[in-house]
C-alpha cells in the first residue's frame, strides 16, 4: 500500500556471524518497538535478502523527514540500551538514509521488496520524469502491489552515541526505489522487463545491479497502533 507518512529511514546492514542470532532477537524484541514508540514514527519493517547485499534491509515510516532529526529521536540515538550497545558494534556495511517520500502508490503489503539505490544523471526533474515512467510499468506488472520512490536527504549529520558504535561511516543513497510484490519470481521478471540496467543507466548514474539492487523477504512489521 502507499507509505503511511512523508518520511522514511532506510537502512541496510550486514551483521557478524557470531552476533546474528542476538541481532534478530534484539531487533524484534527491543529495537523496532522502541523506535516505533518515538513520536512521529508510524511503522517499522525488517527484511532479509533473497539476493543482494547487505543481508538485512529495514525501514521506518514517519510523519515527516524532520521526525528523523527531532529531539525525541536524537535522544534515543544518544542513549543506546546495553543490548543495543552489544549488537550494533557488530553491524557491517551499514547504509542509513533519511528520505522524503517523493511518490508512493499501491494497495496492501507485499511479501517481497526490491530495493534499488540510484543516483540521478543530469537534472532532478528529468530523472524524476524518466523514473516515473518506469514506476508506472512496474506498478502494472503481475504480482506487484506497491511502488515507492524515496529522495535521500543524507544521513542526518552529527555524531551520536549509536553511530559511534558502528565503527565506520554509514553509506547513504541519493534515491531509493522500492517495489513490493507477492512473489519473488514475478518481481524479478518485472525488474528485468522494466528496470533493467540498460534502462536505468539512461538516467541513473553509475548504476550497478549487482551492487545496487537486492530482493528482500519480509520478516517482521510493527505499526504504532500495535504497541501498548
* pLDDT, tens only, 28-82: 999 999 999 999 999 999 999 999 999 999 999 999 999 999 999 999 999 999 9
What's the structural domain count of the chain?
Answer: 1
CATH of the domain at 31: 3.30.70.100
> What mean pLDDT, rounded, does the chain reach?
96
Q: What are the cell numbers at 134?
A: 518506469
Identify the domain containing residue 214 by its residue range: 7-226
* 58 domain residue, yes or no: yes
* 1 domain residue, yes or no: no
* pLDDT, tens only, 116-149: 999 998 888 889 899 999 999 999 999 999 999 9
* 20 domain residue, yes or no: yes
Q: What are the cell numbers at 8?
A: 522514511
* pLDDT, tens only, 142-184: 999 999 999 999 988 678 999 999 989 999 999 999 999 999 9
* 26 domain residue, yes or no: yes
Task: Measure the CA–CA gap between 209 and 122, rounded to whole angstroms.
Answer: 20
Q: Are 204 and 118 in contact (CB under 8 A)?
A: yes
Amino acid at each position: 500500500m502507499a507509505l503511511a507518512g512523508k518520511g522514511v529511514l532506510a537502512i541496510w546492514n550486514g551483521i557478524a556471524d557470531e552476533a546474528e542470532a542476538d541481532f534478530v532477537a534484539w531487533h524484534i524484541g527491543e529495537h523496532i518497538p522502541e523506535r516505533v514508540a518515538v513520536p512521529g514514527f508510524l511503522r517499522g519493517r525488517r527484511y532479509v535478502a533473497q539476493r543482494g547485499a547487505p543481508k538485512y534491509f529495514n525501514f521506518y515510516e514517519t510523519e515527516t523527514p524532520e521526525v528523523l532529526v527531532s529531539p525525541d529521536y536524537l535522544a534515543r540515538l544518544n542513549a543506546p540500551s546495553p543490548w543495543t550497545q552489544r549488537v550494533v558494534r557488530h553491524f557491517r556495511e551499514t547504509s542509513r538514509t533519511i528520505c522524503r517520500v517523493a511518490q508512493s502508490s499501491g494497495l496492501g503489503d507485499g511479501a517481497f521488496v526490491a530495493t534499488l539505490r540510484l543516483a540521478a544523471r543530469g537534472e532532478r526533474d528529468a530523472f524524476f520524469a524518466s523514473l516515473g515512467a518506469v514506476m508506472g510499468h512496474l506498478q502494472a506488472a503481475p504480482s506487484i502491489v506497491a511502488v515507492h520512490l524515496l529522495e535521500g536527504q543524507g544521513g542526518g549529520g552529527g555524531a551520536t552515541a549509536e553511530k559511534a558504535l558502528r565503527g565506520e561511516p554509514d553509506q547513504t543513497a541519493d534515491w531509493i526505489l522500492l517495489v513490493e510484490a507477492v512473489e519473488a519470481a514475478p518481481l524479478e521478471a518485472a525488474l528485468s522487463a522494466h528496470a533493467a540496467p540498460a534502462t536505468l543507466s539512461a538516467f541513473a548514474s553509475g548504476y550497478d545491479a549487482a551492487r545496487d539492487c537486492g530482493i528482500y523477504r519480509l520478516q517482521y512489521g510493527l505499526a504504532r497502533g500495535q504497541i501498548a
